[in-house]
Structure 1
Amino acid sequence: MINIRRSGERGGGNYGWLDTKYTFSFNNYHDPRFMGFRNLRVINEDWVEANQGFGTHGHSDMEIITFVMSGELAHKDSSGGSEVLRPHEVQRMTAGTGIRHSEFNPSPTEKVHLYQIWILPEANGLE
């Protein structure tokens, strides 16, 4: 059976620098009906204000896909990776044995609009 979940039915919040919508339970939003789907754990839609972003933080045992809809997103990670994602560009990051990274909107004037998807890998500890 297919269940349609409208955008307005999603969880999320506005934190001043970040306006976000959570498709599944995430952060301080918890709904036992929406805990993910099989290996799919996160589909977040984010709008990050100019000159703002996610400070350095860690992940492990997760495949993280970022898709930029509009604006730009600067990414830096502990593996030495550094890039700026532009509209309609996609990044996949393997956080198997552990990675630390930051994501930041480098624009002084425009928001960045992005989707981030987290998928549990078939095996832990991927490189």
Structure 2
Amino acid sequence: VIEVTSFVSSRWVPQMADHTEVMKGIHQYPGVRYPVLTPNLQGFHRAVAAGATEISVFGAASESFSKKNINCSIEESMGKFEEVVKSARHMNIPARGYVSCALGCPYEGIITPQKVTEVSKRLYSR
């Protein structure tokens, strides 16, 4: 599995502004999966239009990380992820989820295991 790129807003994460070009430029090999991060419906639809065949969502265990990367709280992100995963299922596109900052946050430092567990359970229930 190689996560190719992130379909996030270039306004919030300018380093990812080239996501469509990255998708066009990769050479895919048999047996390798190439998911892309889609934190909201707009990103999901852009990813599908760019040829994505698998998507990812992440639940941050850090409020600061969530706000800096996808411009919303952990709580708000869960609602967005539910919409994305529902759309992916409707289109038979595989979706996976993961927890960012499980071992620490570049902005907050140590993240408690309880917070990681809470976010993991909520993400899994989507």
Same fold (TM over 0.5): no
Higher relative contact order (CA 8 A, sep 6+): 1
Higher strand share: 1
So what's the TM-score if we normalise by structure 2? 0.29
